[in-house]
Structure 1
Amino acid sequence: MPLVLTLALRNLFQDRLRFAAAVTGIVFSVVLILVQMGLFYGFGRMVTLIVDHTSADIWIMSKGTQYFEDLSILDSDMREELRALDGVADAIPVVAGFSAWIPPEGGLVGIFVIASDPASGLAPWNIVEGGLDDLAAPGTVTLERSYAAELGVSARGEAAQVRGHPVTVGPVTSGLRSFTTRPYVFADFRNARSYVGLPANLVTYFLVRMKPGADLERLRQDALSRISGIEALTPDQFRARSRNFWLYRTGAGAALVAGALLSVIVGTVIIAQTLYSSTKEHLYEFAMVRAIGASNRYIYRVIACQALVNALIGLSVATVISIAVGHLTATSIIPVVITPGLVTIAFAVTLVMCVASGVASIVRIIRVDPASVLTR
């Protein structure tokens, strides 16, 4: 084992209680950072949940539409115009909108209805009971298990009403939650307009599928130039627009951004204070090492090594805790999403904070006169 690492470990483990306190401070800080960033990332995923699970090359929507649940109304005759564009294989209509669910026991629950051809790429997922074929039957809708108590139904075949129209529960899903808190209810396309109060000649979106070898950007521009009052966005563009709206233009997003930034600031202060106090306790030991001829560079390496060990141990424990939090919130409205990329970022931030906090200690150590230790 290199002498630098040996000295660093001995300094850290000499007072195990102090070391445990230092690691606890780091773990708390990293958990705070990971959870806040995980909330931010989880919210970003939730606002694009439908787009992420839909297979389409281009989304056609009304001009100014910001996100999937936003108001978008298109003439159903537009389908033929889209199909006539060079490079279009098909344009599948989608009907979506807010509606009212009436449980068997009575009452009223707000829901968001979604309907399209199940083969279009916009269909319920995580189905645990039944199948997509069930939606072919008129008056059939999906049930998300996590909303069962709220909707007053719990199994296939149970009946309720949507905007006064009788419906029967078909496929049952698990984990398909809506960030708006209004349950997503997938329905058969033929009755969907009645559920959301949309006239027979209108739809909400068109999902465009391209022919093999077609130019995506050219097709987008053709659609925009030939059809007025629409926007043609790729899934990536639609995702970016939705996240930009909710994360940076609303109070909810601003709160999450502020929370993530505050967690980094608070974490930095806690880690800096913890490691500075820990290193300060060994001030005269480092001065003694300098007195016997060690260079400043050697001292830098020892403290950097201590910072790295603290960061690795703190991050490892914090990651396990954060992943556990992620599992516990997996079915919540806004889950904490912990990804390998997020852990990598947290490690980089933690390492920088640990090393940066050691800088103040290094300055203090270098200023100590090595000769002063001989008078103790």
Structure 2
Amino acid sequence: MKGILKIAYKLLVNDKGKFAALLVGITFAVFLMVMMTSMFSGILHRSSATVLNVGAKVWVMDPAINTPANNIPMPDYVLDAVRSINGVTYAVPLYSGGALVKLRSGAYQSVTVIGLDDSSLYGRPELLEGQIEDIYGENAFIVVKDAEFPKLQNPRVGTEFEINDHRGVIVGIARVTTSGLFGVPTLYTTYNRALQYIPSTRFTTAFILIEPKNTTAIPYIKQQVKALGYEALTKDEFIQKTSRFYKYQTGVGTNVLIMTVISFIVGLCISGQTFYTFILENLERFGALKAIGAKGRELVYMILFQASFASLAGFGLGIGLACLLITVARLRMPSYAAMTTYTDIGLAFIMVLIIAGISSYIGVRKVLKIEPFDIFRG
């Protein structure tokens, strides 16, 4: 068997042009598939940036909410009712809204304002500069240093700005685990200051953040919150709900799926055609092997080895090229959202196996039909 596979390898790489064309086709298909799925993974990851950055274990919200960016304020009594539920260690309100900031240059910039509970500051970001206690100072805000930070003209501690005709002062610069999706800078302040500075509706609590006593208390908390007419989700459940919204209720998921299928079809057509041409050009060699005693099973192993070797080599090259391009793009463009996950790589690997299987089937059918008599007669 080792000798047969060695012959198969030499037959495959002997024609460098055909082998290169086969690799290019599979590499290009894998590259496109990984780029499209990585872009979609990055979008889904950033769409849940608020949930990831705040880090609360349980979120209470209106059932109609699909993403953290779209919130429906709840009455104040909901917070009191949630705090009275058995199993809740503590519950705090979270403000989340948009505002327009006037910068030092006179330019205006939209921002997302996160209002933290005044007493606990639950969900506060990690500070790079400044002290968290300074957020209680007059007109104090903390700015997040992420991909959107330059849009605020790179403010420093002490930088002043206007927000809805109110004076604002940067008292800290923070970092978060995930940047937002919509290209809007983020400011943190206290809950009451957010209500004071930003026009709001009659109800103001966007979300209620719960710290349960233990994980076994979460189902009971969910049940009690549901009885109030609202919804309680764990952090992972909220992220999944956001992902499902973008996958199935927007055009993003459909467009990415179509492009991924097109990439698969392109790779299948190129590799299938090239591999079939390779088989046709080597029919005499396969016939000679059959004439000197090679069994049909051994010829099938040869075809499978050749298709698998070419497909896996193209898979590795495609993954490497896609990861390299994504890394360079993220270094040059911090707002670039693509990220490669194990799911993306696994999906590309399954697609490559399908390509290898179909290419092998085409070659096997042709080789098994060959008769040594026809080869030598020619």
Q: TM-score scaled to structure 1, two decimals?
A: 0.90
State which of 336, 345, 367 in structure 1 corresponds to 2:369. Answer: 367
Give the corresponding residue for 2:12.
12
Question: C-alpha separation between the residues in 2 aligned to 1:213 and 1:148?
Answer: 36
Question: C-alpha separation between the residues in 2 aligned to 1:49 and 1:270?
Answer: 39
Name the CA shift for 1:208/1:346 in 2 (closer, same or farther; >3 Å): same
Alpha-carbon contact 2:73-2:203 (below 8 Å) kept: no
Letter in 1 for 2:207: Y
Question: How many angstroms does 1:292 deviate by?
Answer: 2.0
Give the corresponding residue for 1:252.
252
Alpha-carbon contact 1:146-1:175 (below 8 Å) kept: no
Partner secondary structure for residue 67 of structure 2: coil
Letter in 1 for 2:19: F
Question: How many angstroms does 1:350 deviate by?
Answer: 0.9
1:81 and 2:100 matched: no
Structure 1: runs of 5+ lacking an equivalent: none
Question: C-alpha separation between the residues in 2 aligned to 1:140 and 1:232?
Answer: 29
Partner secondary structure for residue 206 of structure 1: strand
Give the corresponding residue for 1:161.
162
1:338 and 2:348 matched: no
Question: C-alpha separation between the residues in 1 aligned to 2:202 and 2:209?
Answer: 18
Give the corresponding residue for 1:26.
26
Alpha-carbon contact 2:22-2:270 (below 8 Å) kept: no
Name the CA shift for 1:338/1:162 in 2 (closer, same or farther; >3 Å): same
Question: C-alpha separation between the residues in 1 aligned to 2:75 and 2:146?
Answer: 34
Partner secondary structure for residue 147 of structure 2: helix
1:29-74 deviation digits (Å, cap 9, x = unpaired):
1111111111121111111122233332321112301110113201
Name the CA shift for 1:128/1:12 in 2 (closer, same or farther; >3 Å): farther
1:251-304 deviation digits (Å, cap 9, x = unpaired):
233222322232222222222223222333212211221222222211111111
Q: TM-score scaled to structure 2, two decimals?
A: 0.90
Alpha-carbon contact 2:85-2:224 (below 8 Å) kept: yes
Letter in 2 for 1:362: V
Name the CA shift for 1:343/1:4 in 2 (closer, same or farther; >3 Å): farther
1:125-156 deviation digits (Å, cap 9, x = unpaired):
5x544454443434222143533442234333
Alpha-carbon contact 2:92-2:117 (below 8 Å) kept: yes
> Which stretch of the first structure deviates more once superposed, 115-124 or 159-168?
115-124
> Which stretch of the first structure deviates more once superposed, 130-139 or 300-309?
130-139
Q: How many residues align?
A: 373
Question: How many angstroms does 1:361 deviate by?
Answer: 1.6
* Shift >3 Å, 4+ stretches: 117-121, 127-138, 172-176, 329-334
Written as runs of structure 1 = structure 2, the 5 A alignment for 1:1-376 is: 2-117=2-117, 122-124=123-125, 128-130=128-130, 132-138=132-138, 139-169=140-170, 170-173=172-175, 176-198=178-200, 202-212=204-214, 214-225=216-227, 227-228=228-229, 230-330=230-330, 332-376=334-378
Name the CA shift for 1:171/1:134 in 2 (closer, same or farther; >3 Å): farther
Question: C-alpha separation between the residues in 2 aligned to 1:5 and 1:164?
Answer: 77
Question: C-alpha separation between the residues in 2 aligned to 1:74 and 1:235?
Answer: 19
Alpha-carbon contact 2:116-2:123 (below 8 Å) kept: yes
Letter in 2 for 1:182: V
Letter in 2 for 1:321: L
Letter in 1 for 2:287: A
Name the CA shift for 1:40/1:295 in 2 (closer, same or farther; >3 Å): same
Alpha-carbon contact 1:141-1:171 (below 8 Å) kept: yes
Name the CA shift for 1:184/1:13 in 2 (closer, same or farther; >3 Å): same
Name the CA shift for 1:245/1:36 in 2 (closer, same or farther; >3 Å): same
Name the CA shift for 1:54/1:370 in 2 (closer, same or farther; >3 Å): farther
Partner secondary structure for residue 336 of structure 1: coil
Alpha-carbon contact 1:55-1:121 (below 8 Å) kept: no
Partner secondary structure for residue 74 of structure 1: coil
Alpha-carbon contact 2:54-2:125 (below 8 Å) kept: no
Name the CA shift for 1:246/1:341 in 2 (closer, same or farther; >3 Å): closer
Question: C-alpha separation between the residues in 2 aligned to 1:128 and 1:24?
Answer: 46
Task: Name the Cα RMSD after superposition.
Answer: 2.4
1:62-104 deviation digits (Å, cap 9, x = unpaired):
2301110113201234222111111111111100011112111
Structure 2: runs of 5+ lacking an equivalent: none
Letter in 1 for 2:115: A
> Which stretch of the first structure deviates more once superposed, 258-267 or 37-46?
258-267
Partner secondary structure for residue 123 of structure 2: coil
Question: How many angstroms does 1:20 deviate by?
Answer: 2.0
1:173-192 deviation digits (Å, cap 9, x = unpaired):
37743212222222233311
Question: C-alpha separation between the residues in 2 aligned to 1:181 and 1:38?
Answer: 18
Question: C-alpha separation between the residues in 1 aligned to 2:57 and 2:177?
Answer: 26
Letter in 2 for 1:279: I
Partner secondary structure for residue 187 of structure 1: strand
Letter in 2 for 1:171: I
- Percent identity between the aligned chains? 22
> Which stretch of the first structure deviates more once superposed, 242-251 or 168-177?
168-177
Letter in 1 for 2:151: E
